[in-house]
């Protein structure tokens, strides 16, 4: 009998210990979610940004030959430029469209199914790329660019939100880096695949454009077995049983050990915002959400108006003027892309320790100063033999500091400033600002380059300094705070004083 009593008491003691000692951290499904969404959803976005420039002349030749054979029309240089601009811009148009509909899809079908949709669209686009030359169809190429752009817009508005909602509070920053790290890695992979001895040959461009699909095909089945966001199930769907089941599977512990996380979910479910449906227009009109929305959109747009794409465009010229051969200049450009990937990986460790605000402010300020330095070095590049090395150093330093704050933080910061219900719409606005900034810089930079040359980077520097001043006055530290607390700090719009000690103490 004594043995039986001990066997009954032991599980109870174990239960108490598990409940009291459990602290959510890295788990199998959380790590799997980070890897799978990075490779299957985020990587294709960066790949399609970085890959199209290498085979540009080959694709233009294909387009001209297709028009001659099908319509008996030879395209002039003017019309070829128009067609090429259309092919390139379709990606951005799709990105803007995906950003707009992302909030609706995320709420209607759930975060996981929305992420699955991004993969399906990505595979469809790759299929069109692979067979467009065999079908002699420029239209398939254009539609493919539209589909991968649509997938990209959905990815940037949904994936950071999904992985952030899967994460415990202490790891939201680290998991928030997953999406931008995947995008940066995709750009690097696209540059590498475009090398002559890999897929940069004359007949290889359809395989080059569609090569990313192999990773997506491998990732898609794994994505299907990941848990749905417990916050979505609990707060939006009001399905407490399913939320607890998925949270238990995600953390790898029994529901009895999840008391503190479930209490936080219940608090979010009881908040004022959780009972309402939040469209993008409703979020835009809500005064209490105005400052979080402005912060999120300004950071996302600020990524593009920092001129990061233009810097990479100029990199080949700068490296050549520094004395590198054409091939070595290409390798140096790839090296700068590798810096971008490495800094994103470094942020996995920095963000939980340093916080969002100091990293972002230091990154934005340094980026602004380095852009001004780059402009000055380019203006006087022929005046001294060492000046090309100044410009090269400024370029590499800019890529480094960009990756330590301005690159990754804007992608996930909306998930820490918006509560669960308005979060999809807030993320969608931020994603739209990013793609809109991408479109404006992409369309405007060639003209700026022709008209004002290196002074373009002074303009980018001014935009970036403006972002620094705005975030310095209004961006609160979100590390260690719940979205509800951050929302209260910013609830008075531009009249908010989210940085004052008294206000913070009152809220906390």
> Any long-range contacts for 2-8 (C-beta under 8 Å, 24+ apart)?
none
In this predicted structure, which of 14-28, 184-198, 265-279, 342-356 has the lowest mean pLDDT? Answer: 14-28
Of the segments 105-114, 270-279, 346-355, which one has the largest average pLDDT value?
105-114
- Phi, psi for residue 492 in degrees, rounded to 5: -105, 20
Residue 59 has a pLDDT of 93
Distance, in Å, from the CA atom of 340 to the CA atom of 309, rounded to the nearest integer, reads 12
Side-chain-side CA neighbours of residue 186 (13 Å): 31
Closest-CA residue to 464 (of 418, 392, 401, 413): 401
pLDDT of 275 reads 63
pTM reported for the whole predicted model: 0.86
Q: Is 141 helix (H, G, I), strand (E, B) or coil?
A: helix
Residue 462 belongs to what H/E stretch? helix 456-474
Nearest of 358, 333, 412 to residue 163 by alpha carbon: 412
- ∠ at Cα 156 (192, 165), nearest 5°? 120
Inform me whether the pLDDT recorded for 14 exceeds 50: no
Q: How far apart are CA 37 and CA 424, in angstroms?
A: 17
pLDDT score at 460: 95
Q: What CA–CA distances, in Å, run from 210 to 42, 213, 301, 418?
A: 15, 6, 28, 36
Residue 68: pLDDT over 70: yes
pLDDT at 491 over 90: no
Please give the pLDDT value at position 324: 78
pLDDT of residue 217: 97
Above pLDDT 90, what percent of the chain?
A: 56
Q: Above 70 in pLDDT, residue 475? A: yes
120 pLDDT more than 90: yes
Answer yes or no: is pLDDT of 507 > 60: no
E strand or H helix that includes residue 416: helix 409-417
| pLDDT of 23 above 80 | no
- What are the structural domains of the chain? 25-226 (1.20.1250.20), 277-508 (1.20.1250.20)
What residues have CB less than 8 Å from 275, skipping those under 6 apart? 421
Pick 369 or 438 by higher pLDDT. 369
Q: What is the pLDDT of residue 195?
A: 87
Separation CA 206–CA 199 (nearest Å): 9
At residue 142, the 3 state secondary structure works out as helix
- Cβ atoms of 160 and 427 closer than 8 Å: yes
Half-sphere exposure of 141 (CA within 13 A, CB side): 26
Q: In terms of C-beta density within 10 A (0-12 exposed, 13-18 middle, 19 or more buried), how is residue 53 classed?
A: middle
Q: Is the pLDDT of residue 66 over 70?
A: yes
**27 pLDDT exceeds 70?**
yes
For residue 269, is pLDDT > 70? yes
DSSP state of 325: -
Q: List, in sequence order, the alpha helices (H) in 72-110.
A: 77-109
Measuring CA to CA, which residue among 502, 477, 444, 436 is closest to residue 96? 436
Q: Are 161 and 423 in contact (CB under 8 A)?
A: yes
Joined together, the tokens standing for residue 25 give 């951290």
Say if residue 215's pLDDT is above 80: yes
Summarised one tens digit per residue, pLDDT across range 221-262 is 999 999 999 999 999 999 999 999 999 999 999 998 888 889
How large is the C-alpha radius of gyration of the chain?
24
- The encoded tokens of residue 207 equal 């395989």
**Maximum distance among all Cα pairs of the chain, rounded to whole angstroms:** 96
Confidence of residue 328 (pLDDT cuts 50, 70, 90): confident
What pLDDT does 12 receive?
Answer: 40
Contact criterion met (CB below 8 Å) for 428 and 100: yes
pLDDT digits (tens, 9 = 90+) for 175-206: 888 899 999 999 999 989 988 889 988 899 99
What was the pLDDT predicted at 504? 46
> What is the average per-residue pLDDT within 263-270?
86
Segment 417-426 mean pLDDT: 92
pLDDT at 1 over 80: no
Q: How high does pLDDT run on average in the chain? A: 88
CB atoms within 10 A of CB 161: 33
Give residue 443's pLDDT. Answer: 81
Inform me whether the pLDDT recorded for 442 exceeds 60: yes
Sign for the pseudo-dihedral over CA of 450, 398, 468, 152 = positive
Q: What are the tokens at 396?
A: 């590499």
Task: Please identify which residue in the block is written with the tokens 């990756």.
Answer: 403
Section 59-66 average pLDDT = 93
Burial of 7 (C-beta count, 10 Å sphere; 0-12/13-18/19+): exposed
CA distance 125 to 90: 12
Q: What is the C-alpha to C-alpha distance for residues 328 and 310, in angstroms, rounded to an integer?
A: 20
| Helix extents (H) in 306-408 | 308-321, 326-354, 356-379, 387-401
pLDDT of residue 326: 77
- In whole angstroms, what is the distance from residue 234 CA to residue 313 CA? 46
pLDDT at residue 502 tops 90? no
Which letter, b or e, does each residue of 321-350 get, where b requires 16 or more Cβ atoms within 10 Å of its Cβ? bbebeeeebbebbbbbbbbbbebbebbbeb
**pLDDT exceeding 70 applies to what percent of the chain?**
93
- 86 pLDDT higher than 90: no
């Amino acid at each position: 009998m004594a043995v039986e009593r001990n066997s009954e008491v032991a599980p109870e003691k174990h239960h108490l210990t598990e409940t009291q000692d459990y602290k959510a951290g890295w788990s199998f499904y959380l790590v799997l979610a980070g890897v799978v969404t990075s490779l299957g959803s985020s990587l294709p976005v960066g790949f399609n940004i970085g890959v199209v420039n290498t085979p540009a002349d080959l694709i233009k030749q294909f387009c001209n030959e297709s028009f001659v054979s099908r319509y008996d029309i030879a395209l002039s240089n003017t019309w070829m430029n128009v067609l090429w601009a259309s092919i390139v811009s379709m990606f951005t148009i799709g990105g803007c469209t995906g950003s707009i509909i992302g909030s609706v899809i995320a709420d209607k079908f759930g975060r996981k199914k929305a992420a699955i949709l991004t993969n399906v669209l990505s595979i469809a686009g790759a299929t069109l790329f692979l067979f467009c030359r065999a079908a002699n169809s420029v239209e398939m190429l254009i539609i493919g660019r539209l589909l991968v752009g649509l997938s990209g817009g959905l990815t940037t508005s949904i994936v950071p939100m999904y992985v952030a909602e899967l994460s415990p509070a202490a790891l939201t920053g680290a998991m928030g880096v997953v999406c931008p790290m995947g995008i940066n890695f995709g750009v690097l992979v696209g540059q590498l695949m475009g090398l002559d001895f890999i897929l940069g040959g004359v007949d290889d461009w359809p395989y080059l454009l569609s090569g990313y699909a192999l990773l997506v095909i491998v990732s898609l089945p794994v994505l299907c077995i990941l848990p749905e966001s417990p916050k979505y199930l609990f707060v939006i769907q009001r399905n407490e049983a399913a939320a607890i089941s998925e949270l238990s599977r995600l953390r790898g512990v029994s529901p009895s050990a999840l008391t503190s996380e479930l209490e936080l979910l219940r608090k979010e479910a009881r908040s004022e915002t959780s009972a309402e449906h939040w469209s993008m227009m409703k979020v835009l009109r809500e005064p209490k959400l105005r400052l979080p929305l402005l912060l999120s959109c300004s950071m996302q747009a600020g990524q593009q108006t920092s001129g990061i794409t233009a810097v990479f465009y100029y990199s080949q010229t700068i490296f050549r003027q520094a004395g590198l051969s054409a091939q070595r200049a290409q390798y140096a450009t790839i090296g700068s892309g590798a810096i971008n990937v490495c800094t994103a990986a470094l942020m996995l460790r920095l963000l939980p320790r340093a916080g969002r605000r100091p990293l972002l402010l230091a990154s934005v300020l340094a980026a602004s100063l380095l852009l001004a330095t780059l402009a000055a070095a380019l203006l006087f590049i022929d005046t001294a033999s060492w000046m090309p090395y100044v410009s090269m150093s400024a370029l590499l330093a800019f890529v480094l500091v960009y990756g330590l704050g301005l690159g990754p933080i804007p992608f996930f910061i909306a998930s820490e400033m918006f509560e669960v219900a308005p979060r999809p719409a807030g993320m969608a606005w931020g994603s739209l600002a990013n793609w809109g900034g991408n479109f404006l810089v992409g369309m405007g930079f060639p003209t700026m380059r022709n008209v004002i040359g290196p002074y373009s980077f002074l303009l980018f520097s001014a935009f970036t300094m403006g972002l620094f001043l705005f975030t310095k006055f209004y961006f609160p530290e979100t590390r260690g705070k719940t979205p509800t607390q951050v929302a209260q700090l910013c609830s008075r719009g531009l009249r908010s004083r989210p940085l004052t000690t008294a206000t913070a103490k009152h809220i906390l």
